Amino acid sequence: MTRDSRYDVLFEPVKIGPVTARNRFYQVPHCTGLGWLRPRMVAALRGMKAEGGWGVVCTEYCSIHPASDDLPHPYASLWDQGDIRAHSLMTEQVHEHGSLAGAELWVGGSRSTNLFSNEVAMDVANMPNAIGIPYQARAMDKSDIRELRRWHRNAALRARDAGFDIVYVYATHHYLLAHFLSAQTNSRSDEYGGSLENRVRLVRELIEETRDAVGDRCAVAVRFAADDSIGEDGQPVVGERRDMLEMLAELPDLWDINIQDYSREMGTSRFVNEASLEAYMCWVKSVTSKPVVTVGRFTSPDTMVSQVKRGIVDFIGAARPSIADPFLPNKIEQGRIDEIRECIGCNICYTGDSTGTPIRCTQNPTISEEWRRGWHPEKIAARGSDSSVLVIGGGPAGLEATRALGRRGYHVMLAEAEHSLGGRINRESELPGLGEWARVRNYRVHEIRNMPNVDVYFDNRMDTEHVLAVEANHIVIATGASWLADGRGLYNQTPLDELGPPQQVFTPDDIMAGRLPGGPTLIYDDDHYYLGNVIAELLRRKNIPVTLVTPETMVSAWSGKTGEQGRVQRRMLELGVDIVTSHALKAFDGQAAEIECTYSGNRRRIEAAAVLSVTLRAPNDSLYHELQQAIDSGGEYRPDSVTRIGDCLTPTIIAGAVFSGHRYARELDTEVDPDNRMKYDRIFYDDV
Ligand code: ADP
Ligand code: SF4
């Protein structure tokens, strides 16, 4: 297939100073949870983007010096020869596919932890540590600024030596350079503070010095915010930013533009739509002749073309769409748009940075596994035998197993109890704000539909007898999990004795099946992710009074890691949800619930007509156990294997279920060393 000529503009080469990108697809700097700790994993991950057609592939934030250290968040670094060697792995793989590699040089200032390096953090002024650790940042004096410029220059030289084609001056995201630019944070009285020209001075010097150091071979990019402060959501406050950009307009070779509100720039699909930065971006290209890139969770090629043709951007910047589908550009180029695995905007990928662990993706189970497990997002080994596989359950785990087994060429029979495929995706994507999550189902159903070796049996609730009658070689149980209604969870380690009457006690499964409470409802959230608060939103929109009780100190604590906790809590407050934190449900008698303070143990009663427990799920694994029993008790037919996957094995997030299904399909008929299931990446040292 060939590409639609409407998309030709996306494949035009674009000159960036001394280098040229082969097309307009630009993977902007994004975290991987790998950083300097896992050089081979990160190199393979970035190389895969280049193979998939991204014309530019950048690092994550890359520290120039130990004074800028962010562990436990795994940043990249360019401190020494070992780092040069590590990054060379990445640049070689990116160059192999004709793409450009970019390094985002980073100076954290008061946002760096320095807990690893034990260096003193410095910033434009004496200020608190911005992420809340009890170490202040000290004000830089002039000699510190000279030192910083030297560090930055040397890191730029190391970036060049590592083979990078684009070197960034990173002047946004509330890091040190952003603090120099801002009138709010820059209180200096020397030539680096006060007037606009003075506040811009350090950024100007770094651009000039980077160009001087490496500009003959590398382009200089500047990452810069298009707005001055966080105003009303979606309404830019441009303030001085236009004047600043005009002052620097022609100095770098490329402008990488973002905004002050990270929860919008990186917003989940529940709160933020595709291309949502356009209102912030619309003036930028009118003040510079240099190419401009921004992000917007772009997955639609029509939106991309429209952005370029209307002069909003020159490059289609992407982090998440390139994670969900590293082959997105190639698929557009090859006219395979319906095969794009679209990002769902859930931000599970972002949790890797917060937790200090390798990036995961709900849509792309191969991310981070390129090197250590040898998984390619588009290629998979041919089947290892003529075996047939019966998959029971068409939720995300069963669908992904079926899709990947089908791609390997196995004869797969997928039996689903319901009239449609999707499992929990069907139910959850109907909840407020989660519509884009249906893409998890849609991508897989579309792929399966085109596979002649896959048969799908709808309305087929399988029992042991049915399963055995199929006589498949391998049986995969992907029957999901069910929410418990007994209040047991992290806080209450045993079921609550006094919780009733049953018709007034609900679980998320009840709500998603359309069984709603008839009056004021207490939602007890000991799950701490999205379901508790999304259901609160659903009930409030039906005018049902809601009290949200959680043992945590904030609503939906885990969604801090997906970058949406602030928006979630604000949404709850706007909807009039009563929030009670640091309390656990202890009893309910149909008229009132008894809750307990997690610190003092003090109890109080809250009137409620219903209680909804969002605490714990139990695997739907009775079929698995019955099958095992039937097989053990003899009979002619014995399958080669019976395996549980997804929530049936252990209830988890959707990304976990997809991964589980994918892993099963990859490993069938292969040798996996049970003691060493994956390669273990380690860093390089300066002296090796
Ligand atoms: P997961 O997240 O692990 O994929 P889900 O709960 O999303 O789990 O999906 C489980 C799917 O299995 C649902 O679509 C459900 O209808 C289906 N299912 C459950 N039990 C059976 C069964 N006995 N036979 C066929 N399908 C089943
Ligand atoms: Fe998109 Fe979610 Fe994957 Fe991140 S984890 S790239 S938001 S689908």
Q: Phi, psi at residue 510, to the nearest 5°?
A: -60, -50
Q: Which of 402, 403, 416, 624 is the best mutation target for the ligand 1 pocket, counting ligand atoms within 8 Å of the beta carbon and taking the most?
A: 416
DSSP string, 255-293: EEEE-S-HHHHT--TTT--TTTTHHHHTTGGGS-SS-EE
Q: Which ligand is nearest to the CA of 619?
A: 1
d(CA 24, CA 312): 13
**How far is ligand 1, taken at its centre, from the CA of residue 537, in Å?**
26
Tokens coding 223: 């990452």
Is 619's C-beta closer than 6 angstroms to any atom of ligand 1? no
Question: Atom 6 of ligand 2 has which residue's CA nearest to it?
Answer: 320
Find out whether 445 and 338 touch, Cβ atoms under 8 Å.
no
For strand 122-123 and strand 19-21, is the pairing parallel, antiparallel, or unpaired? unpaired
Find out whether 441 and 393 touch, Cβ atoms under 8 Å.
no
Q: Quick one: which atom of ligand 2 is closest to the CA of 347? A: 7
Q: Quick one: which atom of ligand 2 is closest to the CA of 345? A: 7
Is 393's C-beta closer than 6 angstroms to any atom of ligand 2? no
Q: Which of 273, 323, 367 is the best mutation target for the ligand 2 pocket, counting ligand atoms within 8 Å of the beta carbon and taking the most?
A: 323
Q: Which ligand is nearest to the CA of 368?
A: 2
Task: Report the run of H or E that residue 138 belongs to, with start and end.
Answer: strand 138-139
d(CA 264, CA 270): 11
d(CA 124, CA 201): 12
Is 347's C-beta closer than 6 angstroms to any atom of ligand 2? yes
Q: Quick one: which atom of ligand 2 is closest to the CA of 269? A: 7
**How far is ligand 2, taken at its centre, from the CA of residue 295, in Å?**
14
Q: At what angle do helices 396-408 and 438-449 cross, to 10 degrees?
A: 30
Q: What was the pLDDT predicted at 636?
A: 86
Task: Report the run of H or E that residue 603 belongs to, with start and end.
Answer: strand 603-607
Is 639's C-beta closer than 6 angstroms to any atom of ligand 1? no
Is 651's C-beta closer than 6 angstroms to any atom of ligand 1? no
Is 653's C-beta closer than 6 angstroms to any atom of ligand 2? no
Question: Atom 1 of ligand 2 has which residue's CA nearest to it?
Answer: 343
Q: Quick one: which atom of ligand 2 is closest to the CA of 350? A: 4
**CB neighbour burial string for 261-290, b if at least 16 within 10 angstroms, e if fewer:** bbbbbbbbbbbbebbbbbebbeebbebbeb
Find out whether 56 and 256 touch, Cβ atoms under 8 Å.
no
Q: Which ligand is nearest to the CA of 477?
A: 1
**How far is ligand 1, taken at its centre, from the CA of residue 99, in Å?**
42
* pTM given for the model: 0.97
Q: Which of 479, 617, 663 is the best mutation target for the ligand 1 pocket, counting ligand atoms within 8 Å of the beta carbon and taking the most?
A: 479
Torsion sign, CA atoms 137, 140, 144, 150: positive
Is 348's C-beta closer than 6 angstroms to any atom of ligand 2? yes
> Per DSSP, which regions of 467-577 are E strands?
474-477, 481-483, 505-506, 521-525, 546-549
Q: What was the pLDDT predicted at 1?
A: 79
Neighbours of 631 (CB within 10 A): 17
Q: Quick one: which atom of ligand 1 is closest to the CA of 461? A: 24
Q: What was the pLDDT predicted at 634?
A: 84
**How far is ligand 1, taken at its centre, from the CA of residue 134, in Å?**
48
Is 642's C-beta closer than 6 angstroms to any atom of ligand 2? no
Is 282's C-beta closer than 6 angstroms to any atom of ligand 1? no
Is 479's C-beta closer than 6 angstroms to any atom of ligand 1? yes
d(CA 446, CA 22): 30
CA-nearest of 68, 145, 54, 56 to 107 is 68
**How far is ligand 1, taken at its centre, from the CA of residue 258, in Å?**
41
**How far is ligand 2, taken at its centre, from the CA of residue 256, in Å?**
21
**How far is ligand 2, taken at its centre, from the CA of residue 437, in Å?**
10
Is 462's C-beta closer than 6 angstroms to any atom of ligand 1? yes
pLDDT < 50 positions in the chain: 688
**How far is ligand 2, taken at its centre, from the CA of residue 352, in Å?**
11
Is 391's C-beta closer than 6 angstroms to any atom of ligand 1? no
Q: Quick one: which atom of ligand 1 is closest to the CA of 421? A: 14
Find out whether 273 and 343 touch, Cβ atoms under 8 Å.
no
By annotation, the residues acting in catalysis are 175
Is 397's C-beta closer than 6 angstroms to any atom of ligand 1? yes
**How far is ligand 2, taken at its centre, from the CA of residue 553, in Å?**
27
**How far is ligand 2, taken at its centre, from the CA of residue 494, in Å?**
35
Is 480's C-beta closer than 6 angstroms to any atom of ligand 1? yes
Q: Quick one: which atom of ligand 2 is closest to the CA of 655? A: 5
**How far is ligand 2, taken at its centre, from the CA of residue 307, in Å?**
22
d(CA 315, CA 16): 11
Q: Which of 274, 363, 439, 562 is the best mutation target for the ligand 2 pocket, counting ligand atoms within 8 Å of the beta carbon and taking the most?
A: 363
Q: Phi, psi at residue 197, to the nearest 5°?
A: -60, -40
Question: Atom 6 of ligand 1 has which residue's CA nearest to it?
Answer: 480
Collapsed DSSP state (helix, strand, coil) of residue 113 = coil
> Per DSSP, which regions of 301-410 are E strands?
315-318, 388-392
**How far is ligand 2, taken at its centre, from the CA of residue 322, in Å?**
9
In sequence order, the 6+-apart residues with CB closer than 8 A to the CB of 51 are 97, 326, 327
Q: Which ligand is nearest to the CA of 31?
A: 2
Is 236's C-beta closer than 6 angstroms to any atom of ligand 1? no
**Paired strand residues for 25:** 316
Is 269's C-beta closer than 6 angstroms to any atom of ligand 2? no
Report in angstroms the alpha-carbon separations of 558 from 73, 438, 531. 16, 22, 12
Is 458's C-beta closer than 6 angstroms to any atom of ligand 1? no
